[in-house]
């Protein structure tokens, strides 16, 4: 069987990216950890945003990590699915809104 | 759902649970404590007597560490309750935490609460809420609790129906909300009433709990907005890898990962304040334990074996019995019957 591109266990090795560039790695993780601390938004709200973005960018690692995180921070299935619908609506809407461009061009080109 | 006990499941045995917990390759909890110079772990006081008045319950929750349910018949007798009352006086214990099963199902429950209240002791009752609606004879429990100034502590795994029913059984959420409204009507959870109503959250799955303060805000906002329910505090607790939750972890293939997670989040600060250090647990038959979890694992306290032989000095000299399950109380912000401890 061929080796898959995405290996679940690799998520645990995320911290190892500092191995090749420690200074930037540290800066990234310090910032990353600060971002997810409770602030004007709760940790649950931040986890749900991350979950939605994870689906928008279709990152399997992030989907695993932020499904767990959303549940851990107290979100339920309904909230999680609504978050994904928000991401999907923006993705879908972003394609569809370009329809205006298509319509403009069409009007330019046609009688 | 039948209890593990009723199914004659191997995990109904405390000894078997300990075998399972010790079979994995994880660092022993005792070694972790030894490395911190905290072994043997000694009591700091006997501030709380936690009395488990029986395993009988109207619910069969999927995570229950007591393996309680309608098919359990073990309940505390009045004679054993009297021995608890004697110990409370002898040891000048100011807080009694009554748990179960559904403690209200013990026919001597009200008598016990009345005697404790007469002694001027602060009484806490761990009520599962649905019992209040289970039978007409329980409908006046909110007024009974209020009359005796009882602090009510109730499990509500989530402010949504889905998560609550998944863990505690179909229809539990709706009944719990109704019971909370009845408690509110009796004055519970209202700022100026002095009647405390605290809720307990535990994760519904192989997950660690969130920060207490943050989740409490969500609970307060949602319960008030959607159901008009108010309460005082939310206690966030970690599921112990024992009994039915251990069975779930093993069956779902989450056991190893969950233990790794608990161990990775081991917090030495939590060890300072674990509840076994200032609490004594009494089983339905009067036997003594360091905590309710050790009780369910059949790990008796060292020194004094029965509440009738209560001796504070001897109990204070004991060493607390530890095991791999103790990682559950020391992960992250720690966990106790009163929620976070760090």
Residue A76, min C-alpha distance to chain B (Å): 7
Closest by CA position to B76, among listed B300, B252, B284:
B284
Measured between beta carbons, the chain A residues lying within 8 angstroms of B203 are 71-72
Q: What is the CA radius of gyration of chain B?
A: 19
Residues in chain B within 8 Å Cβ distance of A68: 207
Measured N-to-C along each axis, helices B78-90 and B109-118 cross at an angle, to the nearest 10 degrees, of 20
Q: For residues B43 and B290, give the distance between their C-alpha atoms in angstroms, rounded to a whole number.
A: 9
Q: Write the burial class of residue B62 (CB in 10 Å: 0-12 exposed, 13-18 middle, 19+ buried).
A: middle
Please choose, from the candidates B138, B73, B76, B149, the residue with its C-alpha nearest in 3D space to the C-alpha of residue B112.
B76
Domain edges within chain B: 10-149+237-328
Farthest-apart Cα atoms in chain A, separation: 62
pLDDT of residue A8: 86
List, edge to edge, every strand of the sheet that includes B288-289: B233-236, B197-201, B151-155, B122-127, B95-99, B48-52, B279-282, B288-289
Contacts of B235 in chain A (CB under 8 A): none
By residue count, chain B amounts to: 342
User: Mean pLDDT over residues B286-301, rounded?
Assistant: 97
- Distance of alpha carbon B157 from alpha carbon B154, whole angstroms: 10
The predicted complex's ipTM stands at 0.76
The secondary structure of residue B150, as a DSSP letter, is P
Which pLDDT tens digit goes with each residue over B124-152?
999 999 999 999 999 999 999 999 999 99
- Distance from the B158 Cα atom to the nearest Cα atom in chain A, whole angstroms: 8
B244-280: burial string, b at 16+ Cβ within 10 Å, e else: bbbbbbeeeebbeebbebbbebbeeebbebbbbbebb
CA distance A77 to A47: 13
Nearest-angstrom CA–CA distance, B176 and A70: 24
**Residues of chain B positioned with their CB less than 8 A from the CB of A71:** 203, 205, 207
What is the domain partition of chain A in residue ranges?
Answer: 22-109
Contact by Cβ (8 Å): B185, B309: no
Are B208 and B241 a contacting pair, CB within 8 Å? Answer: no
CB contact (8 A) between residue B218 and residue A44 = yes
Q: Does B34 touch chain A (CB under 8 A)?
A: no
User: Looking at the complex, does the CB of residue B203 fall below 8 Å from at least one CB of chain A?
Assistant: yes
Comparing alpha-carbon positions, the chain A residue that sits nearest to B218 is A74
Q: Please count the CA atoms within 13 angstroms of the CA of B82 that sit on its side-chain side.
A: 3
Mean pLDDT of A34-60: 96
DSSP helix/strand/coil, A1: coil
Interface test with B, best of A12, A66, A74 (most B CBs within 10 A): A74
| pLDDT 10s digits, B228-273 | 999 999 999 999 999 999 999 999 999 999 999 999 999 999 999 9
pLDDT band at A4, cuts 50/70/90? confident
Q: Does B161 touch chain A (CB under 8 A)?
A: no
The reported pLDDT for the residue numbered B339 is 87
The SS3 assignment for B114 reads helix
pLDDT of residue B338: 86
| Residue for token pair 């609490």 | B279
CATH C-level class of A22-109? mainly alpha
Q: B61-75 pLDDT, tens per residue?
A: 999 999 999 999 999
pTM of the shown model: 0.91
- What pLDDT sits at residue A1? 65
Per-residue pLDDT reduced to its tens digit, A78-101: 999 999 999 999 999 999 999 999
Question: Looking at the complex, does the CB of residue B257 fall below 8 Å from at least one CB of chain A?
Answer: no
In angstroms, what separates the C-alpha of B137 from chain A's closest C-alpha?
A: 35
Determine the angle formed by the axes of helices A77-109 and A43-56, rounding to 10 degrees: 40
Please list the alpha-helical segments (H only) found in chain B: 14-23, 29-35, 78-90, 109-118, 131-134, 141-147, 161-168, 172-185, 212-227, 243-252, 255-264, 268-272, 292-296, 312-316
Are B33 and B314 within 8 A, CB to CB? no
Q: In this complex, do A38 and B201 lie within 8 Å of one another by their Cβ atoms? A: no
Domain B10-149+237-328 is found in CATH 3.20.20:
yes
C-alpha dihedral (B140, B56, B158, B262), degrees to nearest 10: 140
Is B261 at the interface with chain A, CB within 8 A? no
| Inter-chain residue contact B158 with A44, CB threshold 8 Å | no
């Amino acid at each position: 069987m061929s080796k898959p591109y995405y290996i679940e266990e690799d998520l645990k090795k995320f911290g190892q990216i500092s191995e090749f560039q420690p200074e930037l790695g540290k800066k990234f993780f310090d910032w990353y950890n600060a971002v997810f601390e409770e602030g004007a938004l709760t940790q649950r709200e931040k986890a749900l945003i991350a979950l939605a973005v994870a689906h928008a960018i279709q990152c399997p690692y992030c989907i695993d990590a932020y499904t767990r995180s959303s549940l851990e921070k107290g979100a339920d299935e309904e909230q999680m699915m609504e978050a994904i619908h928000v991401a999907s609506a923006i993705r879908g809407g972003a394609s569809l809104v370009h329809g205006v461009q298509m319509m403009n061009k069409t009007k330019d080109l046609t009688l | 759902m039948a209890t593990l006990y009723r199914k004659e499941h191997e995990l109904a045995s405390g000894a078997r649970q300990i075998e399972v917990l010790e079979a994995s390759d994880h660092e022993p909890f005792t070694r972790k404590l030894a490395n911190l110079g905290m072994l043997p772990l000694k009591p700091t006081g006997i501030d709380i007597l936690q009395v488990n008045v029986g395993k009988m319950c109207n619910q069969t929750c999927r995570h229950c560490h007591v393996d309680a349910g309608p098919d359990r018949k073990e309940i505390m007798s009045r004679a054993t309750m009297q021995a608890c009352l004697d110990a409370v006086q002898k040891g000048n214990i100011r807080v009694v935490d009554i748990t179960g099963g559904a403690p209200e199902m013990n026919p001597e429950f009200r008598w016990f609460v009345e005697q404790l209240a007469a002694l001027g002791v602060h009484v806490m009752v761990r009520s599962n809420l649905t019992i209040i609606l289970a039978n007409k004879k329980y409908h006046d429990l909110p007024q009974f609790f209020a009359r005796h100034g009882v602090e009510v502590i109730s499990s509500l795994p989530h402010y949504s129906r889905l998560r609550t029913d998944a863990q505690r059984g179909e229809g539990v959420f709706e009944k719990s909300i109704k019971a909370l409204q009845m408690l509110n009507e009796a004055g519970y959870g209202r700022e100026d009433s002095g009647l405390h109503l605290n809720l307990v959250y535990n994760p519904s799955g192989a997950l660690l709990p969130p920060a207490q303060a943050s989740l409490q805000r969500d609970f307060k906002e949602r319960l008030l907005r959607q159901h008009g329910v108010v309460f005082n505090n939310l206690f966030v607790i970690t599921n112990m890898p024992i009994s039915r939750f251990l069975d779930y972890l093993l069956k779902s293939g989450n056991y190893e990962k969950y233990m790794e997670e608990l161990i990775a989040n081991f917090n030495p600060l939590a060890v300072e304040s674990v509840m076994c250090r200032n609490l004594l647990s009494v089983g339905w038959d009067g036997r003594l334990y360091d905590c309710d979890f050790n009780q369910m694992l059949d790990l008796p306290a060292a020194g004094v074996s029965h509440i009738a032989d209560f001796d504070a000095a001897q109990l204070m000299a004991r060493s607390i019995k530890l095991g791999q399950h103790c990682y559950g109380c020391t992960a992250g912000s720690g966990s106790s019957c009163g929620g976070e401890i760090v």
